[in-house]
Amino acid sequence: MKNQANRKIADDFLAAYSTHDFSEMAKLLHDDIEWCLPGKSQISGIAKGPEAVINRVKIIISHGIKTQINHILIGQNGIALSLHNTATSPDGRILDEQLATVLTIESDRIKRIDTYLSDVPMMELFF
């Protein structure tokens, strides 16, 4: 049952992301959530708390990122999302990367997000 509940949390998070429903997204996040993203860009580092996580999502969305879900992988304490992000900025910069985003779930809410990128320098140039 826990694995199915975790899957629903991941599905709800992805739905909130794709529809830009930030109030619904906030309901899925622990008060002390942390999101770790590699690199040295405006979206890199550790975002702490729901407001910081949602602000990061807003920055990503504002850059026109298209996210394709490749696979949703179920673990004992969370979910791993295999994703493909693409975008082209108005000045011609291109983002085309594979990533894994791991959602650690505790007490039916997302406690931690860890993102792993296939091309950190490309992401840094894009953002």
| Per-domain boundaries in the chain | 2-126
Residues 35-62 have pLDDT tens digits of 999 999 999 999 999 999 999 999 999 9
DSSP H/E element including 94: strand 94-106
Residue 76 confidence class, pLDDT cut points 50, 70, 90 = confident
What does the chain come to in residues? 127
When mean pLDDT is compared across 22-26, 75-79, 94-98, 103-107, the lowest value belongs to 75-79
Which residue pairs from 94-97 have beta carbons closer than 8 angstroms and sit at least 24 positions apart in sequence?
Answer: 94/122, 94/126, 95/63, 95/65, 95/122, 95/123, 95/126, 96/122, 97/122, 97/123
Q: What CATH code would you report for 2-126?
A: 3.10.450.50
Is residue 1 pLDDT above 70, yes or no? no
